[in-house]
Amino acid sequence: MTTMSMPMTATAAEPMLTRAWWGLKNTLVLCRRNIARIAREPEQLSDVTIQPVIFVMLFTYVFGSAIHLPGTSNYQYLISGMFGMSMAATAPGTAVGLTADMSTGLIDRFRSLPIARSAVLAGRALSDLATQLLGILVLTGAGLAVGWRIHNGPGDALLALGLSLLFAFAMTWAGACAGMLLRSPESAQALGFIVFLPLSFVSNAFVPTQGMPGWLRDFANWNPISAMAATCRNLFGGGNPGSAVHAWPMQHPELAVLAWSVALIAVFAPTAVYLYRRKVLR
């Protein structure tokens, strides 16, 4: 009985492995397709090349003089906050890209091809993650240019980079869900100003939460963007005023980022795939 059950189990697992490998290849092909489009439309990279530089200059030289932080410099505080803001900004970009593909009929052509349903969304998520890596490099360069420095070793800096990319990947799936629900690129772009921009400011990205009203302070302390910013401040070094806050995410920001990222992916990834399948099978 034992010798017969082993081949049966292996045979049953073969189609599953084949489908997984097929879906992965489809995902990589669509990811490469999205990245190849950038060569024809380089202005798509303005949000990860020009925008980070503008925000660094704006918050460092315009609003930075209004922020006084004990125990740390404005550069160390603000640049780490921009890491959190930039990672969250991945979501509206993904939503705009997917709604544009839906409105131009590209998804209808994908529907007629023998490709994995999840590959369309996964390919978009991976390509947006690749562009976000470029955005991190630009943000790091702009920060170093204005006086920001990494005080801890390369190990902590790489950990901060890895957690930042994980959080950005989670936010792409939130954006994919929004892209499946919204009807036009204009509405997806408005979502960034209505939801994600206020979410970035109601956090410790640019100001400490201690000065906020009680009800707003509690929300800001549990805001995933606050955890991402506090993680970068801890790992890059230079001081983290948020460590004085007794909320669990502020005491353990690295674990909070990991937990938020896993939770967001677990909720939004299957939901986005479900919404996509329901939309293309109409």
Instruction: Give alpha helix (H) positions in the chain.
Output: 2-40, 46-57, 74-88, 90-103, 106-111, 117-146, 154-181, 185-191, 197-201, 214-221, 224-236, 248-251, 253-280
pLDDT at 267: 96
User: Is residue 4 assigned to a domain?
Assistant: no
User: Hey, which of 29-33, 59-63, 217-221 has the most confident mean pLDDT?
Assistant: 217-221
Q: Which of 170, 178, 220 is nearest to 200 (CA)?
A: 220
Give pLDDT tens digits for 130-186.
Answer: 899 998 999 999 989 888 888 888 999 999 999 999 999 999 999 999 988 888 888
- Helices 117-146, 90-103: axis angle to 10 degrees equals 140
Number of structural domains (the chain) is: 1
Report whether pLDDT(1) > 70. no
User: Is residue 11 assigned to a domain?
Assistant: no
User: Is residue 268 assigned to a domain?
Assistant: yes
Burial class of residue 11, CB neighbours in 10 A (0-12, 13-18, 19+): exposed
Question: 69 and 194 in contact (C-beta within 8 Å)?
Answer: no
As a whole number, mean pLDDT of residues 110-138 equals 84
What is the CA angle 92-96-98, rounded to 5?
115
The percentage of the chain sitting over the pLDDT mark of 70, rounded to a whole number, equals 89
For residue 14, what pLDDT band results from cuts at 50, 70 and 90?
A: low
As a whole number, mean pLDDT of residues 246-264 equals 95
User: Is residue 274 assigned to a domain?
Assistant: yes
User: Is residue 10 assigned to a domain?
Assistant: no
For residue 5, what pLDDT band results from cuts at 50, 70 and 90?
A: very low
Residue labelled with tokens 């390919």: 123
- Residue 158 belongs to what domain range? 18-280
Contacts of 253 (CB under 8 A, 6+ apart): 227, 228, 230, 231, 234, 242
Report whether pLDDT(229) > 80. yes
User: Is residue 12 assigned to a domain?
Assistant: no
For residue 35, what pLDDT band results from cuts at 50, 70 and 90?
A: confident
How far lies 153's CA from each of 77, 88, 214, 231, 241, in Å? 18, 26, 36, 15, 20
User: Is residue 71 assigned to a domain?
Assistant: yes
Separation between Cα atoms, residue 264 and residue 91, nearest integer Å: 12
Helix (H) or strand (E) holding 242: none
What is the CA angle 224-185-262, rounded to 5?
25
Q: Quick one: tokens of 218?
A: 């509690």
* Entry pTM: 0.86
Report whether pLDDT(254) > 80. yes
Name the CA dihedral angle for 43, 192, 258, 20, rounded to a multiple of 10 degrees: -60
User: Is residue 5 assigned to a domain?
Assistant: no
Give pLDDT tens digits for 97-109.
Answer: 888 877 777 776 7
Separation between Cα atoms, residue 114 and residue 137, nearest integer Å: 37
CB atoms within 10 A of CB 19: 11
Burial class of residue 205, CB neighbours in 10 A (0-12, 13-18, 19+): buried
